[in-house]
């Protein structure tokens, strides 16, 4: 139980294009989803927190107009990197809370999406 | 959330118990201790969490000192697949959307 998936697992795009990453809770309804970013040899950094049906809360320094988050249902959140540039190349990871039969506040993580912007 | 301190790296022989320490001397009464691990190029995997009692599950055991200022994660019979970065995180529980703050963790290497 408490499985989170992400799609795609990796993506390569040209500079200036937009990329959408999906995060799904497969066997539970996620009341809250989180988006993290991890650069090589660094730890995870939280980008934003989203609750179903409401606007995401962004961490300081994260541009909300560049990283669009939509949490339209209890099982799906999307992160869109708009006008991507090479410095946006990173490992993007989502997590979700709200599992059935588990500690509802434990965050379960997806496998991550590796983005390379050329 | 309280800050944690972990050794940068550790080695453990395959088949032996791996004991990973974590200091959280400023932990407050309503903060839990969580452990996650991240295998190379994957998302973090939840291992275990606790408040003040020792906890055990199919993956590991968590020993929390009586004053709650430190804890130890124990992997009873380490295998090569346990090679990963292990993160000790303290966080408040009760509001549903409390974020996790990841430090640098301990890089555990299991030696054949």
Is the pLDDT at A86 greater than 50, yes or no?
A: yes
Is the pLDDT at A102 greater than 50, yes or no?
A: no
Q: Which of B85, B25, B88 is nearest to B62 (CA)?
A: B88
Is the pLDDT at A1 greater than 90, yes or no?
A: no
Could you tell me the two tokens for B14? 């395959």
Please tell me the distance from the alpha carbon of residue B43 to that of residue B91, in angstroms, as a whole number: 19
pLDDT band at B18 (very low <50, low <70, confident <90, very high): very high
Is the pLDDT at B8 greater than 90, yes or no?
A: yes
Choice between B30 and A79, residue whose per-residue pLDDT is larger: A79
Please tell me the distance from the alpha carbon of residue A35 to that of residue B43, in angstroms, as a whole number: 11
* B81-109 tens-digit pLDDT: 999 999 999 988 766 667 888 999 999 99
User: Can you give the pLDDT at residue A106?
Assistant: 87
Give B95: exposed, middle or buried? Use CB within 10 Å, 0-12, 13-18, 19+: exposed
A26 and chain B in contact, CB less than 8 A: no
Q: For chain B, first and last CA: distance in Å?
A: 37
Could you tell me the two tokens for A30? 């996620």
Is the pLDDT at A101 greater than 60, yes or no?
A: no
A7, A118, B48 from B86: Cα distances, Å:
25, 32, 11
User: Can you give the pLDDT at residue B1?
Assistant: 62
Give A65: exposed, middle or buried? Use CB within 10 Å, 0-12, 13-18, 19+: exposed
Please tell me the distance from the alpha carbon of residue B31 to that of residue A105, in angstroms, as a whole number: 13
Q: Does residue A81 contact residue A16 with C-beta atoms inside 8 Å?
A: no
Kindly report the average pLDDT of chain A as a whole number: 92
Region B2-23 average pLDDT: 95
| Paired sense of beta strands B31-38 and B61-64, if any | unpaired
Whether B46 sits inside 8 A of A108 (CB atoms) is yes
* B25-76 tens-digit pLDDT: 999 988 999 999 999 989 999 999 999 989 999 999 999 999 999 999 999 9
User: Can you give the pLDDT at residue A29?
Assistant: 87
pLDDT band at A31 (very low <50, low <70, confident <90, very high): confident
The contact set of B with A (CB < 8 A) is: 34, 36, 38, 41-46, 49, 87, 93-105
A114 and chain B in contact, CB less than 8 A: yes
Beta bridge partners of A24: A5, A76
Please tell me the distance from the alpha carbon of residue A85 to that of residue A73, in angstroms, as a whole number: 29
Determine the 3-state secondary structure of A86 from DSSP: helix
Mutate to test the interface with A, among B35, B40, B43, B84 (most CBs of A within 10 A): B43
Determine the 3-state secondary structure of B56 from DSSP: strand
User: Can you give the pLDDT at residue A30?
Assistant: 87
Is the pLDDT at A78 greater than 50, yes or no?
A: yes
User: Can you give the pLDDT at residue B36?
Assistant: 97
Whether A93 sits inside 8 A of B43 (CB atoms) is yes
CA of A2 vs chain B CAs: smallest distance (Å)? 10
């Amino acid at each position: 139980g408490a499985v989170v998936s992400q799609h795609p697992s990796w993506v390569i795009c040209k500079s200036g294009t937009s990329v959408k990453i999906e995060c799904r809770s497969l066997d539970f309804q996620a009341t809250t989803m989180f988006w993290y970013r991890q650069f090589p040899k660094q730890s995870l950094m939280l980008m934003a927190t989203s609750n179903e049906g409401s606007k995401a809360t962004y961490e300081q320094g994260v541009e909300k107009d560049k990283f669009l988050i939509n949490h339209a249902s209890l099982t799906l959140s999307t992160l869109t990197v708009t006008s991507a540039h090479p410095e946006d190349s990173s490992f993007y990871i989502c997590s979700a809370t709200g599992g059935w039969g588990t500690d509802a506040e434990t965050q379960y993580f997806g496998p991550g999406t590796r983005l390379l912007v050329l | 959330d309280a800050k944690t301190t972990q050794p940068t790296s550790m080695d453990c022989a395959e088949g032996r118990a791996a004991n990973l320490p974590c200091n959280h001397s400023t932990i407050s009464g309503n903060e839990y201790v969580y452990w996650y691990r991240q295998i190379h190029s994957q998302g973090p995997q939840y291992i275990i969490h606790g408040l003040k009692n020792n906890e055990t599950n199919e993956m590991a055991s968590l020993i929390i000192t009586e004053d709650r200022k430190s804890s130890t994660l124990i992997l009873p019979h380490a295998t090569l697949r346990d090679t990963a970065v292990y993160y000790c995180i303290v966080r408040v529980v009760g509001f549903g959307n409390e974020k996790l703050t990841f430090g640098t963790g301990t890089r555990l290497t299991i030696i054949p």
